[in-house]
């Protein structure tokens, strides 16, 4: 059978299996096993366990559970509320400062936790009621937090960047640095839209909950600065050549857990057990998907599907930006239905040879891919952040949350366009800090 035709059949079969309700990892294994048996015979299954466990035999994977523990330790405390309150105290006299406070808190908490749902939950619990109390539209209140939460998968440390680095054998350190400027760009675009929206609705002059003295402003900083110091310390250790990403992640996880115990009194064994239990569950889920995706990639390569697609793309006489536009549309659609980790692991083996053949930088492409995944987090039918916000404020309908988040989707599309026009936004910082990649 023609490999391209077979690739289409595999794609349809994968979609049907995943839509049946089985987990992503199990779905990938079922599809892989089925096509290997049909085209390579039952003996091909003998290699599946070796490939499955071999995919997990990677020291870099240790950074995933460590960063997840790091985020879970922070999310289990009042760090999000303190971060929000600190920014609110400092920005309370600025017109529209409450929206800026929420988006700034989302950006900082995302940098500490690396988790979009955790960012939405931690900042949304404080921010949404406060914005609604001050009379901000429900769409702005809910949409800004939903969009701000997506920054968790772009601003380092980012689990999705780690997964992309492992899947494509790309430097995780470069990927982290590549997400910094685009992350700040998105924060700026989000803030600009929020201020324009509140100004247009007549709320730009609405201030925070009141005036704070300088003593009150400085009073809360000791509860927030230790976590920020850990983030800066982790990044310094990683880029200063002191330790590998896995080692810095382990130290960061330990320090976050210690600070949560010392500052936020998280010393009850049940609370610590909850952090470790939830972190283990999420880590196992991600690692299971990574191992299953390794088997899926082997199946695609064994049946010459990946090679045939790359060769076919190479023979197309189309502008490379038209090709990139098609790739972005594919990623958007995939992000509507699948979680970011699954999309990256399934698509990376196919897309990487395509984008490199077309002359695109894989580091730059990682940022574009991640922003596409961010759009998926606030778009139905999956739209995980939408449901997190709805759980926080159940009286705000999903339709209102969705409509409030749509302008932020437009901001993300603008960010992708700017990255296409100015690729240096993603590649400049990695090249400056770590040298130009060969």
Spatial neighbors of 194 by CB under 8 A, at least 6 apart, are 96, 99, 100, 103, 140, 144
- pLDDT, position 351: 83
Higher pLDDT, 110 or 5: 5
pLDDT of 391 over the 60 cut: yes
- pLDDT, position 205: 47
Is residue 204 packed enough to be buried (19+ CB in 10 Å), middle (13-18) or exposed (0-12)?
middle
Query: What confidence tens digit (pLDDT) does each residue in 18-29 have?
Result: 778 788 888 889
State the chain's mean pLDDT as an integer: 81
By the 8 A CB rule, do 95 and 205 touch?
A: yes
Task: Give percent of the chain above pLDDT 70.
Answer: 93
pLDDT of 389 over the 60 cut: yes
Of the listed ranges 251-255, 258-262, 375-379, 434-438, the one predicted with least confidence: 434-438
pLDDT of 122 over the 70 cut: yes
* Token pair listed for 292: 């299953």
pLDDT of 231 over the 70 cut: yes
Query: Predicted confidence band at 201 (pLDDT cuts at 50, 70, 90)?
Result: low
The count of other CB atoms within 10 Å of the CB of residue 277 is 11
pLDDT, average across residues 329-354: 81
- pLDDT, position 207: 45
Higher pLDDT, 227 or 365: 365
The count of other CB atoms within 10 Å of the CB of residue 360 is 21
pLDDT, average across residues 220-225: 77
Spatial neighbors of 273 by CB under 8 A, at least 6 apart, are none
- pLDDT, position 310: 67
Of the listed ranges 236-250, 332-346, 365-379, the one predicted with least confidence: 236-250
pLDDT, average across residues 29-39: 89
- pLDDT, position 243: 77
- pLDDT, position 424: 92
pLDDT of 206 over the 70 cut: no
* Token pair listed for 334: 């995939």
pLDDT of 135 over the 80 cut: no
pLDDT, average across residues 4-30: 84
pLDDT, average across residues 353-368: 88
pLDDT of 363 over the 50 cut: yes
Shortest CA distance to 378 belongs to which of 387, 368, 365, 366? 387
Spatial neighbors of 151 by CB under 8 A, at least 6 apart, are 106, 107, 110, 116, 119, 183, 186, 187, 374
Query: Predicted confidence band at 94 (pLDDT cuts at 50, 70, 90)?
Result: low
The three-state DSSP-derived secondary structure of the chain is: CCHHHHHHHHHHHHHHHHHCCCCHHHHHHHHHHHHHHHHHCHHHHHHHHHHHHHHCCCHHHHHHHHHHHHHHHHHCCCHHHHHHHHHHHHHCCCCCHHHHHHHHHHHHHHHHHCCHHHHHHHHHHHHHHHHHHCCCCHHHHHHHHHHHHHHHHCCCCCHHHHHHHHHHCCCHHHHHHHCHHHHHHHHHHHHHHHHHHHHHCCCCCCCCCCCCCHHHHHHCHHHHHHHHHHHHHHHHHHHCCCCCHHHHHHHHHHHHHHHHHHCCCCCCHHHHHHHHHHHHHHHHHHHHHHHHHHHHHHHHHHCCHHHHHHHHHHHCCCCHHHHHHHHHHHHHHHHHHCCHHHHHHHHHHHHHHHHHHCCCCHHHHHHHHHHHHHHHHCCCCCCHHHHHHHHHCCCCCHHHHHHHHHHHHHHHHHHHHHHHHCCHHHHHHHHHHHCCCC
By the 8 A CB rule, do 31 and 13 touch?
A: yes
- pLDDT, position 365: 94
Query: What confidence tens digit (pLDDT) does each residue in 287-336 have?
Result: 888 888 888 888 887 888 777 776 776 676 778 888 888 888 888 888 88
For the ranges 205-214, 233-242, 299-308, the maximum mean pLDDT occurs at 299-308
pLDDT of 208 over the 50 cut: no
């Amino acid at each position: 059978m023609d490999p391209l035709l077979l690739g289409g059949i595999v794609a349809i079969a994968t979609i049907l299996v995943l839509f049946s309700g089985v987990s992503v990892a199990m779905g990938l294994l079922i599809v892989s096993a089925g096509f290997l048996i049909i085209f390579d015979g039952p003996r091909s299954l003998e290699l599946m366990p070796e490939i499955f466990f071999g995919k997990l035999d990677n020291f870099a994977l240790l950074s995933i559970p460590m960063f997840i523990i790091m985020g879970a330790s922070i999310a289990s405390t009042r760090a999000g509320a303190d971060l929000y309150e600190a920014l609110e105290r400092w920005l309370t006299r600025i017109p529209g400062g409450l929206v800026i406070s929420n988006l700034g808190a989302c950006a900082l908490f995302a940098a500490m936790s690396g988790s979009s749902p955790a960012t939405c939950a931690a900042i949304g619990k404080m921010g949404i009621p406060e914005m609604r109390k001050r009379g901000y539209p429900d769409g702005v209140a809910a949409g800004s937090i939903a969009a701000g939460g997506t920054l968790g998968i772009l601003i380092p440390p980012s689990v999705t960047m780690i997964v992309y680095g492992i899947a494509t054998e790309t430097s995780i350190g470069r990927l982290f640095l590549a997400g910094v400027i685009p992350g700040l760009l998105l924060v700026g675009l989000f803030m600009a839209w929020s201020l324009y929206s509140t100004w247009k609705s007549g709320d730009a002059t609405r201030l925070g909950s009141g005036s704070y003295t300088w003593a009150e402003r400085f009073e809360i900083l000791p509860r927030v600065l230790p976590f920020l110091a850990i983030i800066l310390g982790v990044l310094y250790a990683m880029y200063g050549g002191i330790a590998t990403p896995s080692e810095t992640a382990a130290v960061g996880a330990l320090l976050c857990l210690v600070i949560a115990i010392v500052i936020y009194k998280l010393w009850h064994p049940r609370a610590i057990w909850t952090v470790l239990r939830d972190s283990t569950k999420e880590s196992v889920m991600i690692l299971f998907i990574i191992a299953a995706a390794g088997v899926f990639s082997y199946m695609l390569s064994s049946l010459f599907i990946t090679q045939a697609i790359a060769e076919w793309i190479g023979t197309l006489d189309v502008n490379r930006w038209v090709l990139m536009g098609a790739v972005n549309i594919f990623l958007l659609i995939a992000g509507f239905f699948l979680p970011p980790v699954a999309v990256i692991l399934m698509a990376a083996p196919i897309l990487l040879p395509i984008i490199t053949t077309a002359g695109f930088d894989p580091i730059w492409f990682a940022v574009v891919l991640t922003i596409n995944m961010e759009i998926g987090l606030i778009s139905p039918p999956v739209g995980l952040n939408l449901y997190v916000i709805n759980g926080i404020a159940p009286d705000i309908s999903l339709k209102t949350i969705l409509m409030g988040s749509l302008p932020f989707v437009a901001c993300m599309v603008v960010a992708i366009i700017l990255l296409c026009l100015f690729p240096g936004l993603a590649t400049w910082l990695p090249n400056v800090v770590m040298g130009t990649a060969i």
